[in-house]
Structure 1
Amino acid sequence: MAIFVILADEFPAGFYDEELHGKRGSDGSTIPAAAVQITEDQHAELISNPGRRKLINGQIQPFEPVVMLTSVDIDAERDRRIAAGFTFGGNLYQAREQDLRNINGAATGAALALMQGAEPGDLRWQGGDSDFGWIAADNTIVPMDVVDMIGFGRAAMSHVGRLTMVGRSLKDRLADGETLDISDDALWGV
């Protein structure tokens, strides 16, 4: 039995099967005259890819719908890039939201310790019985004195600030009608 399709802007809008809808051209057939005959393989391809295949001159063509970006998409990409981390002193560090809170707290503590007389090079500035260190993304512990910890906090702040400002710029470009591929590292200065 033959299979037919009705097209709307080259997209399938309805399928007809002679077994169900009567032999085309015979009395009682409900297959529209405008329906185009297709193979079983074409039918399977069109059914399996709704909105992603067109039938053009009897040939199936892939179609990728244009996804309109919003500022929410840019925010999500910015947040993903922030969380991916930053490099400080040759080590990569995670920068998820909770990591940034912890870094900020430790940097503030280091600044206070420095004001209270902690000496650069002293790894026990936090008042504990062990040297202070931060866990890098590769799970190694990197020792940090007060000066290092303050610099680390500033590096985290710079990482977040830079990506936030790039995101703001990309939102402006999007609002101006520019088409952007926000997964492109070059847009983010990488």
Structure 2
Amino acid sequence: MKIITKNGATYNSLSVSIISDLIKSVKTLVAIVSDDRKLNYKDNGFFKEFIDDITQDELNKGLEVVKEILANERELLKEYFLMFKEVSTEEASLKYAKEFKKDEIDKARDKAIEGGVSFKDKIFQSAEKDRNLLTSTVSLFAITKQVPEGFVWIAQDNTAVPFTLEELTQLGSIMANSVNTNTIKARELKDKVEKAQNLQELESIVWSD
């Protein structure tokens, strides 16, 4: 596998910093070509100028590599994809735009699920570890059918809120409902993403609170 940019430079490997420089300074894309792929140059008398005959498939493979490296650099990846769309077919642009849109929806779903739930005029943390702890607590006290005297559950603002076993169960139900509702919402939006026929239609699909 060889890594080559649209201006003909080759690399043995890529990193976040290299890709950032290619985007911001060089303003070029990355392509992945086979080891036996012949690279063509034209001698203009001063230096050999790269003949850009990179295929869409090679650009697609380059994007796949860049996506993996920039997994935690979403803004940088967006910049790269904007350049990718400018020189790619609509089919390729739509394919990868759908993948990015699905990732965006998944992140919005997780944020909604883990962003806390409202109960007893307080916001309670609702990340997976919080939901698991609540489930374990309810199961423990279900044996005696009551919580210890003076039992409290800590709200997101670190205040201690008195809870009965029934109220703990209600809080668990609210969290479970949030998981279910937002999971279904994400699934429906991703189904719309799959059916989108063009980039304009795809861009109109957004997560709304």
TM-score range, shorter chain: 0.5 to 0.7
1:27-66 per-residue CA deviation (whole Å, 9 max, x = no partner) reads 758789xxxxxxxxxxxxxxxx87767xxxxxxxxxxxx8
Matching residue of 2:109: 78
The structure richer in helix per residue is: 2
Q: How does 1:17-96 map to 2 (within 5 A)?
A: 67-69=97-99, 73=103, 74-96=105-127
Separation of aligned partners in 2, 1:109 and 1:80:
29
Matching residue of 1:41: none
CA drift of 1:68 comes to 3.5
Q: Which ranges of structure 1 fall in alignment gaps of 5 or more residues?
A: 1-5, 14-23, 33-48, 54-65, 115-124
Select the residue among 123, 136, 148 that pairs with 1:105.
136
Superposed structure 1 runs of 4+ greater than 6 Å apart: 29-32
Matching residue of 2:202: 179
Q: How does 1:128-139 map to 2 (within 5 A)?
A: 131-139=150-158
Q: Relative to 1, partners in 2 of residues 1:68 and 1:131: Cα closer, same or farther, differing over 3 Å?
A: same
* Greater gyration radius: 1
The structure richer in strand per residue is: 1
1:138-165 per-residue CA deviation (whole Å, 9 max, x = no partner) reads 1111110111111111111111111111
Contact preservation (8 Å) 1:107, 1:152: no
Separation of aligned partners in 2, 1:96 and 1:170:
22
Identical pairs, percent: 24
Two-structure CA RMSD over aligned residues (Å): 4.1
